[in-house]
């Protein structure tokens, strides 16, 4: 199965927001990503609106032809916004005000009672729900029990270990992701992955045959400063296809 690539445009919005104006426009980035062959656009409407803003969701929904994956916290405010816009998919993420980025996975085990009605309401509205979780069997089982058809495995710890050249930790995190991906597929979940992925870290994740989609943002937006967004996306795709091909041939 081919591996989809979703482009997270949050950090184009972060750059725009640094000056409080309209530029650079995350919608333009979404259209460029679409043109460069992205399979979807991902955007996180945070409580503090540090990335995209409410009107960006409407503009994205009106303009792009590829699916929008709306990242959202499990709050009443975000539930209402998701139900109003009905994006193709909603990825439920944990959100802490003081964090720089989404630091860990959602607790699908402990949060069952609060998450159950939210997952149900989004699914009833035709929105494909995914839960952003740690690569942990208990979290996958809990996601299934919640009725979410998709999980996204948090690759942040793996990427941090790889970037720190901590080979022992990198291997341990990769083994967890590998086990989680096989378990997820075995119990019938669609498995995605993302967070912190770069040219150097993507291959080991893209190689896992159970993973259907990667969502990548910060690295690609940074790389785009040097090479342009289209070229950065093309190179990421090239590495994903090469890694996937190697595993299929093995
Ligand atoms: N997937 C999810 C659920 C995320 O929250 C994020 C970050 O917003 C990403 C993927 C993309 O991570 P990065 O920007 O580090 O590539």
Tokens describing residue 93: 């993420």
Tokens describing residue 63: 């303009």
Domains: count for the chain: 1
CA–centroid distance, 110 to ligand 1, in Å, is 22
Question: What pLDDT does 103 receive?
Answer: 75
What three-state secondary structure class fits 167? helix
Question: What pLDDT does 245 receive?
Answer: 86
Q: Which residues are catalytic?
A: 44, 71, 195
Query: What is the domain extent for residue 234?
Result: 4-249
Say yes or no: CB of residue 155 within 6 Å of ligand 1.
Answer: no
> Residue 202, class by beta-carbon neighbours within 10 Å (0-12 exposed, 13-18 middle, 19+ buried)?
buried
Say yes or no: CB of residue 216 within 6 Å of ligand 1.
Answer: yes
CATH number (domain holding residue 125): 3.20.20.70
Question: What pLDDT does 96 receive?
Answer: 76
CA–centroid distance, 133 to ligand 1, in Å, is 12
pLDDT (tens digit per residue) in 139-164? 999 999 999 999 999 999 999 999 99
Say yes or no: CB of residue 218 within 6 Å of ligand 1.
Answer: yes
CA–centroid distance, 194 to ligand 1, in Å, is 6
> Residue 97, class by beta-carbon neighbours within 10 Å (0-12 exposed, 13-18 middle, 19+ buried)?
exposed
Say yes or no: CB of residue 8 within 6 Å of ligand 1.
Answer: yes
H/E run at residue 5? strand 4-8
Residue with tokens 């400063």: 225
Question: What pLDDT does 136 receive?
Answer: 97
Ligand 1, residue 195: give the atom nearest the CA: 12
pLDDT by residue, tens only, the chain of 250 residues? 689 999 999 999 999 999 999 999 999 999 999 999 999 999 999 998 989 999 999 999 999 999 999 999 999 999 999 999 999 999 999 987 667 777 789 999 999 899 999 999 999 999 999 999 999 999 999 999 999 999 999 999 999 999 999 999 999 999 999 999 999 999 999 999 999 999 999 999 999 999 999 999 999 999 999 999 999 999 999 999 999 987 665 5
């Amino acid at each position: 199965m081919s591996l989809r690539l979703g482009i997270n445009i949050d950090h184009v919005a972060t750059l725009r927001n640094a000056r409080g104006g309209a530029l650079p426009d995350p919608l333009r980035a979404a259209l460029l990503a679409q043109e460069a062959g992205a399979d979807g656009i991902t955007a996180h409407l945070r409580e503090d609106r540090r990335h995209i803003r409410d009107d960006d969701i409407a503009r994205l929904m009106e303009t792009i032809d590829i699916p929008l994956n709306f990242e959202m916290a499990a709050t009443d405010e975000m539930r209402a916004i998701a139900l109003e816009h009905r994006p193709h998919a909603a990825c439920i993420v944990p959100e802490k005000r003081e964090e720089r980025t989404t630091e860990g996975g959602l607790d699908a085990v402990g949060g069952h009672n609060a998450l159950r009605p939210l997952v149900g309401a989004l699914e009833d509205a035709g929105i494909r729900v995914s839960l952003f979780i740690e690569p942990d069997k208990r979290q996958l089982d809990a996601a299934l029990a919640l009725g979410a058809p998709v999980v996204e495995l948090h690759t942040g710890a793996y990427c941090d270990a790889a970037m720190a050249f901590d080979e022992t930790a990198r291997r341990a995190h990769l083994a967890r992701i590998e086990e989680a991906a096989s378990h997820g597929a075995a119990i019938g979940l669609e498995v995605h992955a993302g967070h912190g992925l770069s040219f150097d870290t993507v291959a080991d994740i893209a190689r896992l045959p159970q993973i259907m989609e990667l969502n990548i943002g910060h690295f690609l937006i940074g790389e785009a400063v040097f090479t342009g967004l289209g070229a950065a996306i093309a190179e990421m795709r090239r590495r994903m296809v090469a890694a996937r091909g190697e595993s299929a041939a093995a």
